Amino acid sequence: MSRRRRARTPALISAVTAGLLPLAACATTTETMDPADGKPAAKAAPGFPYTVTNCGVTTTYQAPPKRVVTMNQHVTEIMLALGLEKSLVGTAYLDDRILPAYEKAYKSVPVLAAEYPSKEKLLAANPDFVYGGYASAFDAKDGRSRDDLKASGIGTRLNLESCADGGTSTSTSSASPSASTSMDDVYREIEETGRTFGVQDRAEKWIADARTTVASTADGLKGVEPLSVFVYDSGDKTAFTAGGRGIGNELIELAGGRNVFADLDKPFGDATWEEVVAREPDVIVIYDYGSTTVARKKKRLLEDPVLKDVPAVRNQRFAVMPLSDVVLGVRAPAAVGRLAAQLHPETVK
């Protein structure tokens, strides 16, 4: 999990030609999409101007961004779910396979790098907007910070779940920095992205369908006793696990579980194996991604003598979730049902 969660927060995009609308920032954190030549902005597009505060950065858009680079799979899938593939001039960093429904659209988009592209490669795509899934997408060491990109005339958005990684509220208002990410944040991510790109109607339809999906799972779980759940993402000397602030914790609760490390005040973090033993999880949810297979992770858990009396290990109660299911993206609503079916198979009709 070293590449993903510990440093997990993606970065975005590049240079703008003279005819595009770049972000000219004010001295602080407020930005406005204005013409590059400093002349008055043209008449706003329908639904614009639109002002949004994202992870502490307030931006006013006079029109939708036209040349977008996405960094990280879950934000790429958000764009594809909203039918915005023609706005994409580049993408980067998959964790697993793109959802089949979006595969054809994804293949029409240039892949800039297997992981994060260099700043030079990013700028070569000539974006006017970069959409990052994790804070690591905007890594200052690589010259891809949001401020660096703003200086190049490039607008940015960071997925709401990653606001929490830096201790910034996922809300544009007064929510506490320690507030947990919820399914409402998924809906907000889609709604704000839809409005930014002028496709609010598509966003609203997606949200309505997603709410129906989540409600259907909840109906099937009525009267079910929650099971205690430990998430095993990765780790050997310690366990890298899901804490209480990420969407992964919300998915567990909505699927009829109780995260034994919900008191960990971050989306992800390390726990000792002794703590895992003490919390006696009924089920272990294994996150599936990267080069370490689920079979290898399961073998490590089953063969560790320290864990032999943990109920989930003793009874070999495991569930598996692809990483892309357990981040703040379009897979989350359906992922609740998939996890519920593994935790409570008796509820599946």
Four-CA torsion 163, 167, 171, 173, nearest 10 degrees: -140
Highest mean pLDDT among 2-11, 166-175, 216-225: 216-225
- Looking at residue 196, its pLDDT comes to 98
Distance from C-alpha of 240 to C-alpha of 168, rounded to nearest angstrom: 22
In this structure, what token pair is assigned to residue 82?
């909203």
Give the tens place of pLDDT for each residue, 186-213: 999 999 999 999 999 999 999 999 999 9
**What's the whole-model pTM score?**
0.84
Domains of the chain, start order: 2-158 (3.40.50.1980), 227-347 (3.40.50.1980)
* DSSP character string of 309-349: TSHHHHTT-EEEEEGGGSSSSTTHHHHHHHHHHHH-GGG--
pLDDT in tens, 84-113: 999 999 999 998 899 999 999 999 999 999
Q: What is the pLDDT of residue 329?
A: 97
Distance CA 79, CA 91 (A): 11
| Mean pLDDT to the nearest integer, 305-325 | 97
Residues 6+ apart with CB under 8 A from 219: none
